[in-house]
A and B are shown apart, each in its own frame.
Chain A
Amino acid sequence: MANVSMTVNGRSVSGQCEDRTLLVQFIRENLGLTGTHVGCDTSQCGACVVHVDGKAVKSCTMLAAQADGSEVVTIEGLASGGELHPVQAAFREHHGLQCGFCTPGMIMSAVDMIQRHGGRLDEKTVRQELEGNICRCTGYHNIVKAVLDAASKMGDGTKVAAE
């Protein structure tokens, strides 16, 4: 058994889990944060993407023990003070989700993508960057629109933050 401590959505948490426990299992089962989803078992679908120390990570590819001491943000921690994150707002505005199952991972990947590229994203880049996130409902059309719109709205601020 491993003792694991980390900061999740700004809150210090700790727990005991089997050594083989994946980060996604720790988040869902130990912490009860069920917004992070599991859609496959080969790290292909991206439904489980969270941010670990500021980077998008598929939480099914990492053991909970490996995240010991890390700063983790899940979909539940993205909005601040009741205010939706611009990417969340853009997904709603552009109908970038249908069943909602891939959505948390999509949004966490999109936030990371925009942080890395700032306002310089174009459609082709967004489509390539979303390669690790599978959606079966939307055909990606409106997800791409939402990411581009959020990127243009966030552009300047994220460039500063990234530099």
Chain B
Amino acid sequence: MGMEGIGARVARKEDKRFITGKGRYTDDMVVPGMKHAHFIRSPHAHAKIKSIDTSAAEKMPGVIGILNGAQLAEDAIGNIICGWMIHSKDGTPMNMGAWRPLAQDTVRYVGDAVAIVVADSKTQARDAAEAVVVDYETLPVVTSAIEALKDGAPQLHPEAKNNLIFDWEIGDSAATDAAIASAAHVTEMKVINNRLVPNPMEPRAALGVYDEGEDHYTLWTTSQNPHVARLVLSAFYNVAPENKLRVIAPDVGGGFGSKIYIYPEEIVCLWASKRTGVPVKWNSDRTEAFLTDAHGRDHVSTVKMAFDADNRITGFKVDTIANLGAYMSLFSSSVPTYLYATLLSGQYNIPNIHANVRTVYTNTVPVDAYRGAGRPEATYLVERTMETAARELGVSPAELRKTNFVREFPHQTPVIMCYDAGDFEASLNAAMDASDYAGFAARKEEAKSRGKLRGIGMSCYIEACGIAPSAAVGSLGAGVGLWESAEVRVNAVGTVEVLTGSHSHGQGHETTFAQLVADRFGVGIDTVSIVHGDTDKVQMGMGTYGSRSGAVGMSAVVKALDKVEIKAKKLAAHLLEADESDIVIENGELKVAGTDKSVPWFQMALAAYTAHNMPEGMEPGLKEGAFYDPSNFTFPAGCYICEVEVDPETGKTEIIQFVAADDFGKIINPMIVEGQVHGGVAQGIGQALLEGTHYDAETGQLLTASYMDYTMPRADDLPSFQISTTETACPSNPLGIKGCGEAGAIGSPPALINAITDAIGNNDLTMPATPQRVWAALGSAK
């Protein structure tokens, strides 16, 4: 692998700028003449806008302009789209209501943008916003999806009767019902997957710059996918044609899904720059982020899992209601459908599965993909049901899982997915060994002697990421392809630039992508630069989400490297007067195998650009591009085991140990993969133990809209993690890698809740398992 090649634990190239304060995030950007925007947002969860009076505000110091939805409509700026069409089971298309970037007649959640003030300074914009008078007529509010479906509930959009967006199903309902009817045992549960607020530490920001001379727009934005932003801004929102719009996502401080979407603020800042004639910058504050960044999860499900007399699963039936908030965000429809119900087979042979999903409008922040996106919800159902079933059946949780593991690959599930490779027992055994599962009973006894309740829980997850191929996702309703692009430029001095459509917002691409080049050509990673995040520099790409940068983005780089290698070898063979099949690349040289003849890498590169001595017909230069469309998803899988101690007096849970054994296939940089697991697990623990999103049901106010109210995991809430990996190569990409970005957040919540429910002897416990809830569950335990 070499010191810096594939598999090497290389420290990150990008770190220097971050640890010295030289990172460049969107809010750090300053352009000449730049002014500041403040958004006026609805304080009501549901109301008619009767009038907007800006007369006093317009006279305030520093005010340049105050714009609202009527002016947006004058310029024919489009409605915000949902990019994945889902049809209900009766064949009708989803019932999508209009989402205006600035609300015109009706506001539907607290935080809905109504107008924008542009002023010389942020404080002037904020002061003037206080002087804008918006007259609202409040309407009845509904925040719960279950309540919203009931007759007589407040109606959000005329297009969606009873607030139902779609009523969708997957799998064979009759066969699953029959399996349940004839089962030896059925485990039934009602499971809530709590709403989460993503909270990347960098709040969203946008800087829109209109250049009148060129009739050209530039947008700096906190985006995970600047090319998708450019496409949508031009094709659907009518802000600017693609060739007149440059989107730059510079350093981005975390995303976790919430920075995939093209939000009202980005559209409006860009449009307002033309309308006011000045560059317009907006930076979200944290409460604004709570009120406007797309939330995650928010499912209520009932499940029935059927077993035969040998404890083999014969059927799994799921009914889910998913709260999508006030509007349909960009990929909101795909999350509770194809990213969710297709994973309901878990790691198990389940012959019959049926899931019904209803999605619902409510007066809450729109819900979309958040780290894991559908797969945590599926895993939580499967793994809590498995652990509960094991308790009901009186078998060990490990045995029940082993009885039902998929062991032969490829394995076609009844819900679309075809698992390509895996060894689920290997990760289960690795996690059980690492956690000393066998010694748990003794530890439980010891804890009891101290008055503490000790519990252990496991979770065997599988997830599907690097979503592909494009034709398949297109047939399921996706409005985009899910390939990735790369260009590899070898410069005349032999240094290398890789242009990638993937976007790094913490994942370390500047290091791992360079490791691919180092591995292939034996050059140092310091001679390799990774270029990303700028639509003027990089060819079209699809960006980073769904753990796709490794499996899809890196595979595109590999494909481009293949082409460069072929040309480099051809040229070297010509220079060395050898056959190209005899050329090998080692340690920065192109050698004739078995001889002492060689040409240094940089000399070959120079020869490509001087073009004085090329093989006949070869074009000068050394630069190749590739578009890569995978043949399948990748299927990371693993086993997580959590051990907790509960204080019965207070209900407080302490995590004693958290063990993860993941199969990510081939690993490029173990240090970075471990970091992804740490972060994912921490977010999963946050969901299970700490993070509760609460709305006031009467008023629709978000009660947890700051770090004073919403419990983010802090260092002293978490243990150090014990993590390891097993390896089965992914057959569907050239590197054999599987995505690792979301696994931690997918696999960890059920492990933790299974541990707490084991400790307290009550399976009925809802996330987040706050001390109050645990204490109450203890009180009602039999």
The number of residues on chain B lying at the interface, defined by a beta carbon within 8 Å of a beta carbon of chain A, is 57
Q: In the complex, what distance in Å separates the CA atom of A38 from the CA atom of B548?
A: 29
Contact partner of B707 (CB less than 8 A), chosen from A74, A103, A134, is A134
Contact partner of A98 (CB less than 8 A), chosen from B20, B203, B508, B708, is B508
Q: Which one of B488-496, B584-592, B673-681, B753-761 is at the A interface?
A: B673-681
Judge whether A140 and B21 touch: CB under 8 Å.
no
Contact partner of B20 (CB less than 8 A), chosen from A35, A101, A134, A142, is A35
Contact partner of B287 (CB less than 8 A), chosen from A32, A41, A135, A140, is A41
Judge whether B678 and A39 touch: CB under 8 Å.
no
Q: Which one of B63-71, B397-405, B710-718 is at the A interface?
A: B710-718
Any B CB within 8 A of the CB of A76: yes
Any A CB within 8 A of the CB of B609: no
Q: In the complex, what distance in Å separates the CA atom of A93 from the CA atom of B718?
A: 22
Judge whether A138 and B675 touch: CB under 8 Å.
yes
Given contacts A42-B286, A95-B12, A136-B256, contact A47 B21 (CB under 8 A): no
- What residues of A have a CB within 8 angstroms of the CB of B203 in the complex? 38-39
Q: Which one of A64-72, A84-92, A114-122, A154-162 is at the B interface?
A: A84-92
Any A CB within 8 A of the CB of B442: no
- What residues of A have a CB within 8 angstroms of the CB of B285 in the complex? 40-41
Judge whether A130 and B28 touch: CB under 8 Å.
no
Any A CB within 8 A of the CB of B253: yes
Q: In the complex, what distance in Å separates the CA atom of A144 from the CA atom of B712?
A: 17
- What residues of A have a CB within 8 angstroms of the CB of B123 in the complex? 18, 20
Any B CB within 8 A of the CB of A13: no
Q: In the complex, what distance in Å separates the CA atom of A36 from the CA atom of B20?
A: 10
Within 8 A of A (CB), among B692-732: 706-708, 712-716, 718, 720-721
Any A CB within 8 A of the CB of B506: yes
Q: Which one of B112-120, B128-136, B194-202, B768-776 is at the A interface?
A: B194-202
Any A CB within 8 A of the CB of B254: yes
Any B CB within 8 A of the CB of A163: no
Judge whether B200 and A136 touch: CB under 8 Å.
yes
Judge whether A92 and B12 touch: CB under 8 Å.
yes
Any A CB within 8 A of the CB of B15: yes
Query: A131-153: contact bitstring with B at CB < 8 Å (1 yes, 0 no)?
Result: 10111111111111000000000
Given contacts A39-B201, A75-B21, A135-B201, contact A101 B253 (CB under 8 A): yes
- What residues of B have a CB within 8 angstroms of the CB of A20 in the complex? 123
Which secondary structure dominates where chain B touches chain A? loop
Given contacts A98-B254, A99-B506, A130-B716, contact A40 B675 (CB under 8 A): no
- What residues of A have a CB within 8 angstroms of the CB of B201 in the complex? 37, 39, 45, 47, 99, 101-102, 134-137
Given contacts A34-B28, A137-B254, contact A79 B712 (CB under 8 A): no
Q: In the complex, what distance in Å separates the CA atom of A79 from the CA atom of B22?
A: 12
Q: In the complex, what distance in Å separates the CA atom of A100 from the CA atom of B674?
A: 17
Q: In the complex, what distance in Å separates the CA atom of A128 from the CA atom of B20?
A: 25
What's the least CB distance linking A141 to chain B, in Å?
4
Judge whether A99 and B505 touch: CB under 8 Å.
yes
Judge whether B21 and A138 touch: CB under 8 Å.
no
- What residues of A have a CB within 8 angstroms of the CB of B199 in the complex? 136
- What residues of B have a CB within 8 angstroms of the CB of A137 in the complex? 201, 254, 506, 675, 679
Any B CB within 8 A of the CB of A44: yes
Judge whether A107 and B19 touch: CB under 8 Å.
yes
Any A CB within 8 A of the CB of B251: yes
Closest to A97 in B: B18
Closest to B507 in A: A98
Judge whether A99 and B286 touch: CB under 8 Å.
no
Closest to A102 in B: B201
- What residues of B have a CB within 8 angstroms of the CB of A76 in the complex? 20-22
Within 8 A of B (CB), among A3-61: 18, 20, 28, 32-42, 44-45, 47
Query: B1-28: contact bitstring with A at CB < 8 Å (1 yes, 0 no)?
Result: 0000000000110111111111111011
Closest to B712 in A: A134
Any A CB within 8 A of the CB of B247: no
Contact partner of A42 (CB less than 8 A), chosen from B680, B706, B714, is B706
Judge whether B21 and A143 touch: CB under 8 Å.
no
Judge whether A91 and B720 touch: CB under 8 Å.
no
Q: In the complex, what distance in Å separates the CA atom of A123 from the CA atom of B147?
A: 46
Given contacts A100-B506, A136-B201, contact A143 B18 (CB under 8 A): no
- What residues of B have a CB within 8 angstroms of the CB of A18 in the complex? 123
Judge whether B678 and A141 touch: CB under 8 Å.
yes
What's the least CB distance linking A34 to chain B, in Å?
4
What's the least CB distance linking B531 to chain A, in Å?
18
Q: In the complex, what distance in Å separates the CA atom of A144 from the CA atom of B24?
A: 25
Q: In the complex, what distance in Å separates the CA atom of A34 from the CA atom of B16?
A: 15
Q: In the complex, what distance in Å separates the CA atom of A102 from the CA atom of B682?
A: 16
Judge whether A128 and B716 touch: CB under 8 Å.
yes
What's the least CB distance linking B477 to chain A, in Å?
31
Given contacts A76-B21, A84-B20, A130-B715, contact A138 B678 (CB under 8 A): yes
Closest to A9 in B: B21
- What residues of A have a CB within 8 angstroms of the CB of B718 in the complex? 127, 139-141
Given contacts A39-B203, A107-B19, contact A44 B707 (CB under 8 A): yes
Closest to B200 in A: A136
Any B CB within 8 A of the CB of A126: yes
Given contacts A42-B706, A140-B715, A143-B715, contact A84 B11 (CB under 8 A): no
Q: In the complex, what distance in Å separates the CA atom of A99 from the CA atom of B253?
A: 5
What's the least CB distance linking B375 to chain A, in Å?
19
- What residues of B have a CB within 8 angstroms of the CB of A45 in the complex? 201, 286, 707
Q: In the complex, what distance in Å separates the CA atom of A80 from the CA atom of B707?
A: 34
Contact partner of A88 (CB less than 8 A), chosen from B20, B286, B679, B712, is B20
Judge whether A138 and B19 touch: CB under 8 Å.
no
- What residues of B have a CB within 8 angstroms of the CB of A44 in the complex? 706-708, 712
What's the least CB distance linking A98 to chain B, in Å?
4
Closest to B671 in A: A95
Q: In the complex, what distance in Å separates the CA atom of A89 from the CA atom of B184?
A: 60
Any A CB within 8 A of the CB of B672: yes
Judge whether A37 and B202 touch: CB under 8 Å.
yes
Given contacts A42-B706, A130-B715, A137-B679, contact A97 B11 (CB under 8 A): no
Any A CB within 8 A of the CB of B683: yes
- What residues of B have a CB within 8 angstroms of the CB of A107 in the complex? 19
Judge whether B675 and A131 touch: CB under 8 Å.
no
- What residues of B have a CB within 8 angstroms of the CB of A134 in the complex? 201, 707, 712, 714
What's the least CB distance linking B537 to chain A, in Å?
21
Given contacts A34-B21, A42-B286, contact A99 B712 (CB under 8 A): no
What's the least CB distance linking A79 to chain B, in Å?
6
Closest to B672 in A: A95
What's the least CB distance linking B333 to chain A, in Å?
26
Within 8 A of A (CB), among B88-142: 123
What's the least CB distance linking A82 to chain B, in Å?
10
What's the least CB distance linking B32 to chain A, in Å?
14
Contact partner of A99 (CB less than 8 A), chosen from B252, B678, B680, B708, is B252
What's the least CB distance linking A160 to chain B, in Å?
25
Q: In the complex, what distance in Å separates the CA atom of A108 from the CA atom of B672?
A: 23
Residues of B within 8 A of A (CB): 11-12, 14-25, 27-28, 30, 123, 199-203, 251-254, 256, 285-287, 505-508, 671-672, 674-675, 678-683, 706-708, 712-716, 718, 720-721, 744
Residues of A within 8 A of B (CB): 18, 20, 28, 32-42, 44-45, 47, 74-76, 78-79, 84, 88, 91-93, 95, 97-104, 107, 123-124, 126-128, 130-131, 133-144
9 contacts between A and B (CB under 8 A): A33-B21, A45-B201, A76-B20, A101-B25, A134-B712, A139-B713, A140-B714, A140-B715, A141-B720
Q: For the complex of A and B, list the 3 residue pairs with the smallest distance between their C-beta atoms, beginning with the closest.
A: A35-B21, A101-B253, A100-B18
